[in-house]
Structure 1
Amino acid sequence: MRKKYFLVICCLITICSFAQDTAAIYLKLQEIAIIDQKVMMPMRDGIRLATDIYRPKGNQKVPIVFSKTPYQFNTWVDGKMTTRTMEEAYNAVSRGYAYVVQNERGRYFSEGEWDILGAPITDGYDAFTWMAKQPWSNGKIGVIGCSSTAEWQMAVASQNHPALAAMVAQGFGAGVGRVGKFMEQGNWYRGGAQQMLFTAWLYGTQNDKFKPTFPKNIQQKDLQRLQRFYDMSTEMPRVDWASGLRHLPVQDIIKNAKGQEGIYEDMIRRKPNDPKWFKGGLYHDNMPLNVPAYWFVSWYDVSSAPNIALFNHVRKTAKEKAIADNQYLVIAPVLHCSYKRATENTIVGERSVGDARLNYDELTWGWFDLLLKGEKNDFKDKNPRVRYYTMGSNKWQQAESFPPPGAEMQSFYLTSGGKANTRNGDGMLSSTVPKEDKPDAFVYDPMNPVPSYGGNVCCTGNAVQGGSFDQSKMELRDDILVYTSDELKEGIEVSGFIESTLFVSSTGPDTDITIKLIDVYPDGKAYNLDETIQRLRYREGYDKEVFMQKGKVYKVDLTPMVTSNYFAAGHRIRIEVTSSNFPRFERNMNTGGNNYDEATGIKVENKIHHSTQYPSVIKLPVVKK
């Protein structure tokens, strides 16, 4: 009984404390800001987007920090005032900025139909035009956000609006359609295989076709009143995604969970080169991007490699040297959008990576002060072009580019006596190519896939916990091929893109090949660094499907991985090769069919070949010190 009363008292104290904090923040904001909520900003087609504006009191013209999001930002939720929007507004206004936050078309109080990755980029352009014309605007706008609040930035920036002066894009991979070797269509694919994060995410996010809406042309004063007791949020029943994502066919997963009827069923049918991916809000590398940008990436995010590739692409293709010189990059050893969660002892998954803290507020506002206010501050003197965290040595490093200058590709060839199955097998990584082909075989059963354990993930609910975990128990499965180097006599730093070329044969017309890069500690613990996959029907490109002939050997270039990790002396480098990493990626049913509408799969025997004729290899960017 005492315990019960103690818990009740603790809850009351927490609620009271939250209410006091909320009231204090709101009062502080009221003292310095003009607050104008539920402004219905008009777009060129007449649709109005719900917008909250917080700006300094007085008649001065100020720069604008703009956040556009599909997520809830209402300051009233369940009849209670929330703090997050007000905190962000206070941080901006107290520094002399207007803070403007807007919902995407069709989200919450905004009018129109919502389409993930498909909202017209004219919405962003029109919002810039409207804001720049306000009497309190100095004509310069900076955009900021993480994940879906960042994904729209790149495509809109390609429209070259004169008011857009700076970007801060964090965890922005969901907005990258195609860049260089990567054709993920906003993280929907990796190597042509669906990334299942969107299945779980859309369950709780997509709009049902029958969702309630307010009357068209409802007035701002009515929305301000209604927002106090209608927050327009969908309350979705919780789903055990660890089992929910196992449902087949994948096109019916949300339906099976009795979720909202929305756009998922259409998207799941799209192939990687479907024309719909090239309409709307995705950025593709044939689009110009000439805006100063501060890019934030994390090693255990869902799309580290394409994000870094985009940074490199912009620096290479910017029309003006001044724009190329105004691209900066931070790569942190954390999960998706978890930059500020780094601590004195940052643990990502199970692995400690040391003190990975940075003052992100100082970086962000220093960047905006330089470009939106024109202040002659010390941002460029204090901050390198690229600041990246090297795990293993557990330190921040800096360089003029990434991969850092001096990184040289070192080849590690796969070799074995034909029994690389499990970590107890004879698979090795060697500096020389084996002469004789002794292929390693395993049976891939889509009804018993290799489970995802840690990894570079986002948004899968309880199905996958992201980060670095000891893979050694997983490596006892017979359908995982394990190739390990000798113990390192000297430590080496691997920083950059990892390239993998495997020679594969199969008894099926289609299958997947997955790979993980592992740091093996002297005590045998094997920590994952990055992972990728390739659907073999797309091995010759994403504009066509080419199926396999039984037993024929095919060269497969996998989508590059990326990391910065110090393999200390006594450690070993390892890769795992198999055909599934589920539910990080959807299972290949191996039939050569659509996959999305199939409820049963077939077992196949897959082989990895390695010899002079078939030099299967992983190439690591080794930094010479």
Structure 2
Amino acid sequence: MKKLFLLIFIGLCVATLPVAAQEDVLKKLQAIAVVDQKVMMPMRDGVRLATDIFRPKTDKPVPVIFSRTPYNFNSWGNGEQRNGTYQQALDAVSHGYAYVVQNERGRFFSEGEWDILGTPVTDGYDAFSWLTKQAWCNGKIGTLGCSSTAEWQMAVAALDHPSHAAMVPQGFGAGVGKVGEFWEQGNWYRGGAQQMLFTAWLYGTQNDAIRPQLPKNATQEELVRVSRYFDLATEMPPVDWSKGLRHLPVQDIIKNVNGQKGVYDKMIVRKPNDPDWFKGGLYHDNMPFGVPSFWFVSWYDVSSAPNLALYNHVRKNATDPQVRDNQYLVIAPTLHCAYKRATENTIVGERSMGDARLNYDEQIYAWFDLWLKGDANDFAKKTPKVQYFTMGSNKWQSSDTWPPANVEMTTYYLTSGGKANSLYGDGKLTLAAPVKESKSDGFAYDPMFPVPSYGGNVCCTGTAVQGGSFDQHQMETRHDILVYTTDPFKEGAELSGPIETTLYVGSDAKDTDFTVKLIDVYPDGRAYNLDETILRARYREGFDKEVWMEKGKVYKLTLSPMVTSNYFAPGHSLRVEISSSNFPRFDRNLNTGGKNFDEKTGVVANNQIFHSAAYPSAIRVPLVKGK
């Protein structure tokens, strides 16, 4: 399980190397670089953070590529290089940069107490200040990393340190708090439902309240020496999360598998509007933003839609025109942090994306050369503002905006004869708005028998959910899934942009969830998932309050937008699935109206979807004109 966590979460996205390869990389690095490891960098409160520095052998000051991470980068563990630190350093030094990697406070050799995103935010600011005082630094710093090595960058960008010249955040969604319609609070929530990835992730990541720590008077020489023998990395017992996440109450899941006692206990009780979300390292859309950025997003990551919302927010609202006009974006058809794993035939889940390769390193270093070295290169001339991969047609496209300017929001209405249950029901998506009353569709949602997650836009759940695109048609035989499908497209149709969902619903429960999944249906019946969303009904009037449902009433729900770029070839159909669970992608609503995280027993909710002239349930999709 430990190796699984490393492979999934590692911020640098470089695979573990065997011993011989590690030694070869180290020899090449030592030939061109000054290697200075276990530098204890002081923060303003006296806490020192363990830092490894690799810089070119030159008397001239050089720019810095800086990565900060909660993950273990000790290259001596078990005689193997854990996460490609040396390779990352070799690449940077070969391009004329110093490479600096640092552990967040409270992680491994760093002092202090750890919290998610390594609060306080000033640690990043203080690290920049320390680096710019070094004689070998030219005063320009770029930040780079994926996942937890990216997520801290946005909040620090809000502090606008004068040396923070450029950044490359990849798979950065857990650093986004509130942005526009999204109140995910670092991916903890989607639509007010907990994204259970953090339960599995924190099991393998959080520090125990009682843990061994190194003495504060240890010298750098001593720390380098002992790093060959130990590194304070925990060895967590393996857990089958496909079973572990089923435990109730949710607040005891980690306790139930004898996990460490840590920050999960305080986070699981937070509501979406808890003030603590606004005190740490999350970036919220009421904060400034001061850094030119090259953003990387994946279609099958956990947070594509809020990530893209943040990109648009910065392009629109950054006060400095130079910052506002220098925001670039890549959207790849991959899983979380898997950009460089694209091949000539990239398979994501079960679906082929064709040749999804892109010259990532070339573009990233051209970006850094422009901002950190001041090179008059042709990055801006050669690089579109937005590079996005369209699935189905399996090709890279470019645009000056996201979504592309030539999209037209088109409404498809839900309709049926009252029997949309399962693949074999009569649910349809039509362009014609309903003109009369029609029967609603109903289903029973039993939280003890939830709809299982199958593929999807997810990461970090261990054995519980395999992310990506999988054929859903067997899942759609369940009676508690409503299925609505267009007629096959006679001509090809490309959807590129946000997908908006409005549902009119009812329930005999005080509170329940409603889920939506977007599907590309092939002529042979295969049904590949594109994106998914959810809304906990208590938050239908906003995430700053809870409002209960009453039996016999109809309520309008506006769900958090989905997003994709997908070409529906002739003969394909667009489908949406509607249910009340997608577990363990999201935690189960027990339907009681209680706190949910502290409950063991749920009740069955009898839920309804209305689609009539009075209650026109619909989805709005971004059809690309001329396709």
Q: Tell me which interval the TM-score lies in, with the shorter structure as reference length.
A: over 0.9
Q: Shift of residue 320 of structure 1? A: 2.2
- 1:54 alignment partner in structure 2: 54
1:603 corresponds to which letter in structure 2?
A: V
Q: Shift of residue 20 of structure 1? A: 2.6
Is residue 73–residue 83 contact of structure 2 (8 Å, CA) maintained in 1? Answer: no
1:451 aligns with 2:491: no
Q: Separation in 2 of the partners of 1:80 and 1:90?
A: 17
1:255 aligns with 2:292: no
- For structure 1, the residue ranges without an aligned partner over 5 or more in a row are 1-16
Q: Separation in 2 of the partners of 1:220 and 1:80?
A: 22
- For structure 2, the residue ranges without an aligned partner over 5 or more in a row are 1-16
1:412 aligns with 2:445: no
Q: How many residues align?
A: 609
Is residue 117–residue 148 contact of structure 2 (8 Å, CA) maintained in 1? Answer: no
Q: Shift of residue 380 of structure 1? A: 1.4
Is residue 119–residue 281 contact of structure 2 (8 Å, CA) maintained in 1? Answer: yes
Q: Separation in 2 of the partners of 1:364 and 1:511?
A: 44
Q: Separation in 1 of the partners of 2:118 and 2:231?
A: 24
Scaled by the length of structure 2, the TM-score of the pair is: 0.96
What SS is found at the alignment partner of 1:606? strand
Is residue 509–residue 549 contact of structure 1 (8 Å, CA) maintained in 2? Answer: yes
1:88 aligns with 2:111: no
- 2:619 alignment partner in structure 1: 618
- 1:288 alignment partner in structure 2: 288
Q: Separation in 2 of the partners of 1:517 and 1:371?
A: 39
1:492 corresponds to which letter in structure 2?
A: A
Q: Separation in 2 of the partners of 1:19 and 1:178?
A: 43
1:151 corresponds to which letter in structure 2?
A: E
1:553 corresponds to which letter in structure 2?
A: V
Q: Shift of residue 409 of structure 1? A: 0.5
Q: Shift of residue 58 of structure 1? A: 2.2
What SS is found at the alignment partner of 2:18? helix
Is residue 179–residue 306 contact of structure 2 (8 Å, CA) maintained in 1? Answer: yes
Moved more, 83-92 or 465-474: 83-92
Q: Separation in 1 of the partners of 2:424 and 2:559?
A: 25
- C-alpha distance after superposition, 1:208-241 (max 9, x if no partner): 0111001123211110111000121101011000
Q: Shift of residue 118 of structure 1? A: 5.6
- 1:221 alignment partner in structure 2: 221
2:558 corresponds to which letter in structure 1?
A: D
What SS is found at the alignment partner of 2:312? helix
Q: Separation in 1 of the partners of 2:603 and 2:82?
A: 51
1:397 aligns with 2:397: yes
What SS is found at the alignment partner of 2:22? helix
Is residue 500–residue 559 contact of structure 2 (8 Å, CA) maintained in 1? Answer: yes
**1:313/1:226 CA distance change after superposition, 3 Å:** same
- 1:6 alignment partner in structure 2: none
Is residue 105–residue 118 contact of structure 2 (8 Å, CA) maintained in 1? Answer: no
RMSD between aligned residues: 0.9
Q: Shift of residue 299 of structure 1? A: 0.2
Is residue 104–residue 118 contact of structure 2 (8 Å, CA) maintained in 1? Answer: no
Q: Separation in 1 of the partners of 2:192 and 2:605?
A: 19
Q: Shift of residue 55 of structure 1? A: 0.3
- C-alpha distance after superposition, 1:142-177 (max 9, x if no partner): 000000110000000100100000000000000000
Q: Shift of residue 82 of structure 1? A: 5.1
**1:550/1:81 CA distance change after superposition, 3 Å:** closer
Trace 1:224-303 onto structure 2 (pairs within 5 A).
224-303=224-303
Q: Separation in 2 of the partners of 1:591 and 1:187?
A: 24
Q: Separation in 2 of the partners of 1:58 and 1:397?
A: 41
Q: Separation in 1 of the partners of 2:80 and 2:415?
A: 62
Is residue 290–residue 314 contact of structure 1 (8 Å, CA) maintained in 2? Answer: no
Trace 1:431-580 onto structure 2 (pairs within 5 A).
431-434=431-434, 435-580=436-581
- 2:133 alignment partner in structure 1: 133
1:210 aligns with 2:203: no
Q: Separation in 2 of the partners of 1:494 and 1:126?
A: 44
Q: Separation in 2 of the partners of 1:99 and 1:281?
A: 23
- 2:168 alignment partner in structure 1: 168
What SS is found at the alignment partner of 1:487? coil
2:511 corresponds to which letter in structure 1?
A: D
Is residue 25–residue 83 contact of structure 1 (8 Å, CA) maintained in 2? Answer: no
1:584 corresponds to which letter in structure 2?
A: R
**1:81/1:197 CA distance change after superposition, 3 Å:** closer
Trace 1:52-201 onto structure 2 (pairs within 5 A).
52-80=52-80, 84-117=84-117, 119-201=119-201
What SS is found at the alignment partner of 1:21? helix
Q: Shift of residue 437 of structure 1? A: 2.9
Scaled by the length of structure 1, the TM-score of the pair is: 0.97
- 1:356 alignment partner in structure 2: 356
Is residue 402–residue 496 contact of structure 1 (8 Å, CA) maintained in 2? Answer: yes
Trace 1:595-606 onto structure 2 (pairs within 5 A).
595-606=596-607
Identity %: 69
- C-alpha distance after superposition, 1:345-396 (max 9, x if no partner): 1110000111000111101101000110011112112210000000011100
- 1:8 alignment partner in structure 2: none
Q: Shift of residue 79 of structure 1? A: 4.5
**1:431/1:209 CA distance change after superposition, 3 Å:** same
